[in-house]
């Protein structure tokens, strides 16, 4: 792939965008304008970039999918199966565009949950967070997302506010050969507690399209946010996602990511322990088959002392699929008394399945505890025999063990109906043999 | 209990088995009739667990010679699950941990698989729950056992009880208990033995592999076999266990000649 083709590609994407502002927020226009400039100076990453060593996204350059135009043919009944009964509040975005007729926001929350243009009353707060957590330097996809930023899911949990029910952010792909730019901003003000589900789905199982999403999450002191991210795009889709969370003093962030879909997916998660005694508990499961590629890059940046980070990532890889996990942990010089653990466990179900897993520790403080470990293996023959000795066939035993491997992550999701949906999805995949 | 007219449950003839080309079992002959309890004793490494796993069908072992009949079916021709469904049960010396699979889910799956094969009704989760709790009481097991992952984080004793619980649920025709007593304190040992004794009846049989005579105070065997280097070198009644306790295994080597060839 030549450089000129790459920049042509980016030029082409950017030229498609109607830059005329639709809202009167001038800071937003500036944010977009900067992002357009940034994107214009960048190139599509290649495998020569250290950060993209295992993931060849050159096919993308041949697919100059334009930004999706709004199409709201979907009816409530079409998304019935995607609804989560626990979620009283749901924001639905169709091909990246807010779909008010599919969304529900309880009246009492309408000033804190909604589409970006509807929350202009929180202008100052939004301005101080939007685009402030995910960096667009050296990140062409985040820059493009910001360049195309118009609709966005915005949630502001006010001080000491506790929301028992989860908020469901549902991003539905309906069109082929388009790019959508989902955007989310979640702000937990001091002492707030809530659960947010980001859910990327397709209604056409083999449509080719691109999702380029950015999520920014900010936790003020003592905030507790449970974040669930599900990627179940079409098996021909490209999914490129950036998520960044900033953790305030003694805040607690739990995030569970389940990756099932897309031909090629890349998820960058950046967690900034920005203040003392913050804690994060991060888990991920990628379950892929066929010729899928799922790349997860995480970075937990301990910038302040007494932080705790726990991370476990699992991949179940079948057929000729390829999973990548790169887990970087930075402990800055002042971040004494950091306690960090990371585990990467990978299950290969076929001879041609591949996994690249790499812990990357950059520790500059001396009084820290950091444990990490990675395993790559097949199903354990002794476990299979144990189950067979209790009457299960070899296939049943393998399916149960594969399911169990994934269920350990899925069980962490605090929303029973979603947990059940994902268990079914995993079960379906394990039983396809 | 020995009865002359009982039918053979297990008939092993001249069984040889290897692992990775190394012969471990070097000619085992051994018959178990219904109603009987057999003890197999022997030093570490004598091949007791190998025999148990070969009977259960572990694929790492290659049977190079000999035959095994279970009732009158060729046991060695069956995959492990068919052996289990036919009524063979192995309580593992080292029960396997299976993270992510809830014990209750595992127990019900095993139970229903075997029940279906016997032409009986499956139990739904609620019915099974009542049934399993009843059995757990017998083994003095805490109810939270059911919600935990199979054997994960269980103490040695808890794992062994879980094995006996599975045995109680599956009601096997032939149970092989491989050192179910090791790692148990005396109270736990009594409970496990009580469980075993409740299961034992005229229509089934047990093979109890143990290191120690103390288990045999609670589970009284009809026969005691001593294994050494992949062979049964001595067979006797329950008093043989006491002799071993007093004289140690060296005594066997000295007396082997005169007793060789004796079999149940
Ligand atoms: N994978 C193996 N390869 C070679 N030898 C083995 C293997 N597994 C077990 N053995 C050997 O088989 C013998 C019998 O082991 P085992 O049946 O476990 O004895 P026991 O249960 O009586 O203590 C031992 O000498 C042991 O070293
Ligand atoms: Mg043994």
* pLDDT tens figures, B209-254: 998 888 889 999 999 999 999 999 999 999 998 888 888 888 877 7
| pLDDT at B65 (0 to 100) | 97
Residues 6+ apart with CB under 8 A from B30: B10, B12, B38, B225, B232, B263, B264
- What residues make up the domain containing B13? 8-94+174-262
CB contact under 8 A, B98 and A383: yes
Candidates A287, A316, A385: best to mutate against B (most CBs of B within 10 A) is: A385
A291 assigned to some structural domain: no
Residues 6+ apart with CB under 8 A from B80: A385, A388, A389, B56, B57, B58, B59
Alpha carbons B53 and B155: distance in angstroms, whole number:
23
Which H, E and C letters describe chain A, residue by residue? CCHHHHHHHHHHHHHCCCCCCCCCCHHHHHHHHHHHHHHHHCCCCCCCCHHHCCCCCHHHHHCCCEECCCCCCCCHHHHHHHCCCCCCEEEEEECCEECHHHCECCHHHCCCEEEHHHHHHHHHHHHHHCCCCCCCCCCHHHHHHHHCCCCCEEEEECCCCECCCCEEEEEEECCCCEEECCEEEEEECCCCEEEEEEEEEECCCCCCCEEEEEEEEEECCCCEEEEEEEEECCCCCEEEEEEEEEECCCCEEEEEEEECCCCEEEEEEEEEECCCCCEEEEEEEEEECCCCEEEEEEEEEECCCCCEEEEEEEEEECCCCEEEEEEEEEECCCCCCCEEEEEEEEEECCCCCEEEEEEEEEECCCCCEEEEEEEEECCCHHHHHHHHCCCCCHHHHHHHHHHHHHHHHHCCCCCHHHHHHHHHHHHHHHCCC
A396 assigned to some structural domain: yes
| pLDDT at A1 (0 to 100) | 37
B83 assigned to some structural domain: yes
Burial class (CB in 10 A: 0-12, 13-18, 19+), A366: exposed
A149 assigned to some structural domain: yes
Q: What is the pLDDT of residues A141-194, one digit of tens each?
A: 999 999 999 999 999 999 999 999 999 999 999 999 999 999 999 999 999 999
Residue of B nearest to A397 (CA): B81
Longest CA span, chain B: 58
A329 assigned to some structural domain: no
Length of chain B: 264
Count: domains in chain A: 2
| pLDDT at B85 (0 to 100) | 95
Out of A212, A245, A275, pick the residue that ends a domain.
Answer: A275
Spacing, Cα B43 to ligand 2 middle (Å): 9
CB contact under 8 A, A391 and B114: yes
Low-confidence ranges of chain A (pLDDT < 50): 1-5
Of A273, A253, A245, A252, the residue nearest A335 (C-alpha) = A273
B163 has a pLDDT exceeding 50: yes
Residue of A nearest to B55 (CA): A389
| pLDDT at B248 (0 to 100) | 83
What percent of chain B clears pLDDT 90, i.e. is strictly above it?
69
A367 assigned to some structural domain: no
> Which whole number is the average pLDDT over B119-127?
91
Contact criterion met (CB below 8 Å) for B104 and B147: yes
| pLDDT at B264 (0 to 100) | 40
Alpha carbons A5 and A12: distance in angstroms, whole number:
10
Candidates A287, A312, A316, A390: best to mutate against B (most CBs of B within 10 A) is: A390
Spacing, Cα A388 to ligand 2 middle (Å): 20
Between strands A322-331 and A354-363, the pairing is parallel
Burial class (CB in 10 A: 0-12, 13-18, 19+), B144: exposed
Do A161 and A20 share a structural domain? yes
| pLDDT at B256 (0 to 100) | 64
B42 has a pLDDT exceeding 70: yes
Mark residue B171 as left, alpha or beta (left: phi above 0; alpha: psi -120 to 50; beta: remaining): left
Alpha carbons A289 and A353: distance in angstroms, whole number:
8
Q: Which residue has the tokens 């699992």?
A: A314
Count: domains in chain B: 1
Least Cα separation, residue A400 to chain B (angstroms): 8
Residues 6+ apart with CB under 8 A from A432: A289
Least Cα separation, residue A134 to chain B (angstroms): 34
Considering only CB atoms, which chain A residues are within 8 Å of B172?
none
Residues 6+ apart with CB under 8 A from B4: none
B262 has a pLDDT exceeding 60: no
Considering only CB atoms, which chain A residues are within 8 Å of B100?
403-408, 411
Ligand with minimal distance to B182 CA: 2
CB contact under 8 A, A390 and B85: no
Q: What is the pLDDT of residues B74-88, one digit of tens each?
A: 999 999 999 999 999
User: How far does chain B reach from its first CA to its final CA, in angstroms?
Assistant: 13
| pLDDT at A5 (0 to 100) | 45
A370 assigned to some structural domain: no
Contact criterion met (CB below 8 Å) for A54 and A356: yes
CB contact under 8 A, B100 and A403: yes
Do A393 and A270 share a structural domain? no
A20 assigned to some structural domain: yes
Alpha carbons A187 and A181: distance in angstroms, whole number:
20
| pLDDT at B213 (0 to 100) | 84
A325 assigned to some structural domain: no
Protein residue with least CA distance to atom 26, ligand 1: B45
Between strands B8-19 and B73-74, the pairing is unpaired
Out of A249, A275, A301, pick the residue that ends a domain.
Answer: A275
Query: Higher confidence at residue B184 or residue A238?
Result: A238
| pLDDT at A3 (0 to 100) | 43
- What residues make up the domain containing A51? 3-275
Least Cα separation, residue A388 to chain B (angstroms): 5
Candidates B87, B101, B163: best to mutate against A (most CBs of A within 10 A) is: B101
Do A162 and A34 share a structural domain? yes
Tokens of A373: 């470990």
Do A387 and A267 share a structural domain? no
CATH number for the domain spanning B250: value is 3.40.50.300
Alpha carbons A105 and A108: distance in angstroms, whole number:
8
B239 assigned to some structural domain: yes
| pLDDT at A229 (0 to 100) | 98
| pLDDT at A13 (0 to 100) | 74
| pLDDT at A23 (0 to 100) | 54
Q: How many CA atoms lie within 13 A of B125 on its CB side?
A: 7
Helix (H, G, I), strand (E, B), or coil: what is residue B59?
A: coil
Q: Is the CB of B166 under 6 A from ligand 1?
A: no
Burial class (CB in 10 A: 0-12, 13-18, 19+), A205: exposed
Q: Is the CB of B25 under 6 A from ligand 1?
A: no
Alpha carbons A138 and A43: distance in angstroms, whole number:
9
Query: Which chain residues have CB less than 5 Å from ligand 2, an ion?
Result: B 48-49, 93
Do A395 and A253 share a structural domain? no
| pLDDT at B28 (0 to 100) | 97
State the average pLDDT for chain B.
91
B59 assigned to some structural domain: yes
Out of A213, A243, A275, pick the residue that ends a domain.
Answer: A275
ipTM exceeding 0.90, yes/no: yes
B183 has a pLDDT exceeding 90: no
Backbone angles phi, psi at A294, to 5 degrees: -130, 120
Do A136 and A270 share a structural domain? yes
Protein residue with least CA distance to atom 3, ligand 1: B19
Render the burial of B178-205: b for 16+ CB within 10 Å, e for the rest.
bbbbbbbeeebbebbbbbbeebbeeebb
| pLDDT at A25 (0 to 100) | 65
| pLDDT at A21 (0 to 100) | 53
Strand partners, A189: none
B18 assigned to some structural domain: yes
B119 assigned to some structural domain: no
């Amino acid at each position: 792939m030549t450089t000129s083709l790459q920049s042509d590609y980016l030029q082409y994407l950017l030229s498609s965008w109607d830059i005329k502002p639709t809202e009167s927020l001038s800071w937003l226009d500036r944010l977009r304008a900067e992002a357009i400039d940034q994107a214009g100076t960048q190139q599509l990453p290649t495998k020569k970039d250290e950060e993209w060593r295992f993931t060849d996204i050159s096919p993308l350059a041949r697919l100059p999918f334009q930004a999706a135009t709004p199409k709201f043919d979907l009816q409530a009944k079409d998304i019935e199966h995607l609804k989560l009964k626990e979620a009283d509040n749901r924001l639905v975005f169709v091909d990246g565009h807010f779909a008010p007729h599919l969304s529900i926001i309880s009246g009492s929350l309408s000033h804190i949950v909604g589409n970006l243009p509807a929350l202009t009353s929180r202008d100052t707060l939004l301005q101080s967070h939007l685009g402030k957590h995910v960096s667009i330097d050296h990140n062409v996809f985040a820059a493009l997302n910001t360049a195309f930023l118009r609709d966005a899911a915005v949630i502001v949990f006010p001080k000491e506010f506790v929301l028992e029910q989860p908020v469901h952010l549902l991003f539905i792909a309906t069109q082929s050969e388009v790019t959508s730019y989902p955007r989310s901003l979640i702000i937990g003000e001091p002492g707030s507690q809530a659960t947010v589900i980001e859910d990327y789905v397709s209604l056409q199982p083999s449509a080719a399209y691109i999702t380029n999403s950015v999520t920014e999450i900010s936790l003020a002191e003592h905030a507790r946010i449970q974040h669930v991210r599900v990627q179940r795009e079409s098996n021909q889709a490209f999914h490129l996602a950036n998520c960044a969370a900033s953790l305030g003093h003694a805040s607690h962030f739990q995030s569970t990511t389940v990756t099932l879909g897309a031909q090629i997916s890349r998820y960058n998660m950046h967690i900034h322990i920005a203040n003392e005694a913050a804690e994060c508990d991060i888990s991920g499961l990628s379950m892929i088959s066929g010729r899928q590629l799922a790349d997860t890059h995480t970075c937990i940046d301990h910038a302040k002392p007494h932080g705790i980070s726990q991370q476990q990532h699992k991949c179940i890889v079948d057929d000729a699929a390829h999973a990548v996990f790169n887990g970087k942990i930075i402990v800055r010089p002042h971040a004494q008394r950091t306690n960090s653990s990371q585990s990467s466990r990978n299950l290969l179900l076929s001879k041609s399945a591949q996994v690249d897993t790499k812990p990357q520790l950059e520790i500059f403080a001396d009084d820290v505890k950091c444990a990490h470990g990675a395993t790559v293996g097949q199903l354990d023959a002794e476990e299979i025999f144990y189950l067979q000795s209790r009457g299960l066939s070899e296939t049943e035993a393998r399916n149960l063990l594969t399911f169990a491997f994934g269920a350990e992550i899925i069980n962490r999701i605090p929303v029973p109906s979603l947990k059940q949906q994902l268990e079914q999805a995993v079960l379906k995949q394990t039983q396809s043999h | 209990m020995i009865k002359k007219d009982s039918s053979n449950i297990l008939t092993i003839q001249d069984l040889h088995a290897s692992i990775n080309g190394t012969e471990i079992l070097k000619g085992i002959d051994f018959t178990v009739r219904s109603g009987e309890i057999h003890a197999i004793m022997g030093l570490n490494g004598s091949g007791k667990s190998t025999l148990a796993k070969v009977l259960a069908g572990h694929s790492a072992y290659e049977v190079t010679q000999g035959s095994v009949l279970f009732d009158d079916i060729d046991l060695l021709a069956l995959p492990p699950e068919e052996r289990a469904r036919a009524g063979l049960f192995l309580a593992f010396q080292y029960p396997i941990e299976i993270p992510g699979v809830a014990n209750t889910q595992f127990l019900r799956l095993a139970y229903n698989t075997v029940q279906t094969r016997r032409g009986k009704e499956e139990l739904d989760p609620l019915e099974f729950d009542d049934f399993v709790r009843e059995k757990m009481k017998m083994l003095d097991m805490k109810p939270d056992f059911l919600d935990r992952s199979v054997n994960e984080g269980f103490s040695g004793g808890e794992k062994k009880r879980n094995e006996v619980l599975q045995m109680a649920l599956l009601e096997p025709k032939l149970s092989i208990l491989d050192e179910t007593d090791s790692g148990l304190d005396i109270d736990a040992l009594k409970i496990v033995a009580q469980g075993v004794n409740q299961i034992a009846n005229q229509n089934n049989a047990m093979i109890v592999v143990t290191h120690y005579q103390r288990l045999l105070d609670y589970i009284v065997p009809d026969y005691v076999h001593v294994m050494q280097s992949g062979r049964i070198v001595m067979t006797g009644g329950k008093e043989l266990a006491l002799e071993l306790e007093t004289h140690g295994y060296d005594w066997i080597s000295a007396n082997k000649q005169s007793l060789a060839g004796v079999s149940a």
